[in-house]
Amino acid sequence: MRLILLDEYNEQTMQLAKPIYDRHRRVLLAAGRKIDPKYLERLKQMDIRYIFVDDAVSEGITMEELLDMPSWMDAIEIVQQAFETVKTKQSLDVRNVFKLVAKLVDEVNKRKVLTIIPSTSLEADLRLYAHCVNVTLLALQIGKKIGLNSLQLRDLAVGALLHDIGKVMDGKEEHTVKGFEYLRKEREISLLAAHVAYQHHEFHDGTGAPRGLNGEQIHLYAKICAIANEFEHLVSSQQIPPHEALEILMAKSGSHHSQEIVRLFVENIPAYPPGTRVKMSNGKEAIVTKIISHMQRPYVRYLDTHEEISLIDHPSLLIVETVSV
Burial of 99-115, coded b for 16+ CB within 10 Å and e otherwise, reads: ebbebbbebbeebebbb
Kind and range of the H or E run holding 279: strand 277-280
Q: What is the pLDDT of residue 257?
A: 97
Same domain, 304 and 159: no
Q: What is the CATH number of the domain that holds 154?
A: 1.10.3210.10
Same domain, 49 and 90: no
Same domain, 251 and 297: no
Same domain, 87 and 143: yes
- The domain containing residue 34 runs over which residues? 2-54
Interatomic CA distance for residues 207 and 214, integer angstroms: 8
- Report yes or no on 60 lying in a domain: no
Q: What is the pLDDT of residue 46?
A: 95
- Report yes or no on 44 lying in a domain: yes
Our CA angle for 202, 208, 213, nearest 5°, is 60
Same domain, 26 and 144: no
Residue 200 exposure: Cα atoms within 13 Å on the Cβ side: 35
Contact call for residues 34 and 15 (beta carbons, < 8 A): yes
Cis peptide upstream of residue 118 (ω within 30 degrees of 0): no
Same domain, 245 and 293: no
Same domain, 46 and 142: no
Cα Rg of the chain, angstroms: 20
Contact call for residues 176 and 209 (beta carbons, < 8 A): yes
Same domain, 210 and 303: no
Closest CA to 308 of 281, 283, 284, 272: 284
Structural domain count of the chain:
3
Interatomic CA distance for residues 316 and 85, integer angstroms: 54
Residue 55 exposure: Cα atoms within 13 Å on the Cβ side: 21
Q: What are phi and psi of 96, to 5 degrees?
A: -65, -40
Q: What is the pLDDT of residue 199?
A: 98
Query: 52: which residues sit within 8 A by CB, 6+ positions away?
Result: 1, 2, 3, 4, 16, 17, 18, 31, 63, 121
- Tens digits of pLDDT across the chain (325 residues): 999 999 999 999 999 999 999 999 999 999 999 999 999 999 999 999 999 999 999 999 999 999 999 999 999 999 999 999 999 999 999 999 999 999 999 999 999 889 999 999 999 999 999 999 999 999 999 999 999 999 999 999 999 999 999 999 999 899 999 999 999 999 999 999 999 999 999 999 999 999 999 999 999 999 999 999 999 999 999 999 999 999 999 999 999 999 999 999 999 999 999 999 999 999 999 999 999 888 999 999 999 999 999 999 999 999 999 998 7
Q: What are phi and psi of 253, to 5 degrees?
A: -65, 130
Same domain, 13 and 111: no
Q: Is 288 left (phi over 0), alpha (psi -120 to 50) or beta?
A: beta
Q: What are phi and psi of 15, to 5 degrees?
A: -140, 160
> Which SS3 state, helix, strand or coil, does residue 22 take?
coil
Give whole-number Cα distances, 133 to 87, 100, 105, 210, 232, in Å. 18, 10, 12, 23, 10
Same domain, 47 and 114: no
Same domain, 263 and 285: no
Same domain, 96 and 196: yes
